[in-house]
Structure formats: structure tokens, C-alpha cells
Amino acid sequence: MPNTEEILARTGGRPLTHVLYSAERIAERVAEVGREITDAIPADEELLVLGTLKGSFIFLSDLVRQIRRPMEVDFLVASSYGSETTSSGKVDLLYDNTAPIEGRHVILVEDIVDSGTTLNRLLPLLDARGPRSLEVCALLHKHIAPDLYREPRWVGFDCPQEFVIGYGLDHSEQFRNLPFIGAIEP
């Protein structure tokens, strides 16, 4: 676990409320999820792992190295906009993936499911392209989305109702580089 000095060096002096998940705990859980995904995907069938940028970039890069299957990796850029700390209910698709989806097992990788707006925007769009299967792997799930199009099949951690940063998650585009996940007062 990082000490206070190390945390403040990385946050530019801004204190965290607390560390929720250490780098070691995240690594253990990502390895477990990677094993579960490996077991779920037949070795001779095509797998496409789709990351949602920017938030999933660290989780995805760790996760794909724990999945012992051939795969293609691609990304979508979806961004919600509104205030800095609450989800607005609007999601722009800024970049669409180019990898084919039809007939393949597709795993959409999210860093966090909060209001569910992002998943509810992306999943129908991907489903319409005829994947063999379409599942979600989310590192964090707040379980507050009232009406999710599809529940994530794999979840790293059930996340409390706090403003979480680090390991890809930001506050005003800062703190994505923290190797652990912490909470701050927004």
C-alpha cells in the first residue's frame, strides 16, 4: 500500500479520502477475471476485446495479458459530458472501432459502470452488428444504474458510492496515472 507521501507526490498534494483498492489487490483480481474469461471463450473461436477510452486504458492493458486466448483488441471512444462529477445522461461516440464484430465473441471493457448511460448507448449499437456474443467486463460496478441494457458478466469490484480516481479513472482529466484506486471529495 502506498504511504501518504507517495500518494501526495502523485496527486500534486491533493489528499485522497482513502485508498479503495491497492495496486496489488487490483492485480490479483484482474488475474482472476482474466482466468474466468479464458475459461468462457472457446479456444478456436474469434475474440474481440473492445476497450472504452479513455477510462479503461490501464485496466484493458492489464486484462488482455491475463486472457490466454488469441484475440484482436480495439477501442471505442465514448465520452459523457455535463458537470465534472455527475453523469449527464448524454454520451458522444467520438471514435468507432474498425475491427469487425459480426460472428465474433465481443467483450466490451469498461473501467466503471456508474449511471449506466455509456453501456446503454454502446451495447445496442454493438448488438446490431451481429456479434456471436456480446458481454461486458467492468472493473468497477456501482450498482446504481436503474435499467441496464445488459449486466456486466464480469465485474472486478462492487464499488461504493464515492468519487473514484486512479488506474485510468479521472477527475477533470487528472489522476488517471495512479496505480491504485482511491476516493476523493469531488
Binding site for ligand PRP (CB under 6 A): 52, 54-55, 79-80, 87, 110-118, 170
* Ordered DSSP codes for 64-85: HTT--S--EEEEEEEEE-SSSS
Q: Using the minimum distance from each CB to ligand PRP, give the nearer residue, 33 or 117.
A: 117
Q: Using the minimum distance from each CB to ligand PRP, give the nearer residue, 46 or 157.
A: 157
Q: What is the rounded distance in angstroms from the CA atom of residue 161 to the CA atom of residue 186?
A: 12
Q: Are 126 and 108 in contact (CB under 8 A)?
A: yes
Query: Residue 23 is placed in which grid cell?
Result: 495496486
Q: Which of 39, 74, 92, 114 is catalytic?
A: 114
Q: Min. distance of Cβ 179 from ligand PRP in angstroms?
A: 17
Q: Min. distance of Cβ 5 from ligand PRP in angstroms?
A: 27
Q: Min. distance of Cβ 38 from ligand PRP in angstroms?
A: 24
* Identity of the amino acid at 58: I
- Burial of 84-94, coded b for 16+ CB within 10 Å and e otherwise, reads eeebeeebeee
Q: What is the rounded distance in angstroms from the CA atom of residue 141 to the CA atom of residue 110?
A: 9
Is 114 annotated in the active site?
yes
Q: Min. distance of Cβ 158 from ligand PRP in angstroms?
A: 14
Closest residue by beta carbon to ligand PRP: 55
Q: Using the minimum distance from each CB to ligand PRP, give the nearer residue, 69 or 109.
A: 109
For the annotated catalytic residues, the residue numbers are 114
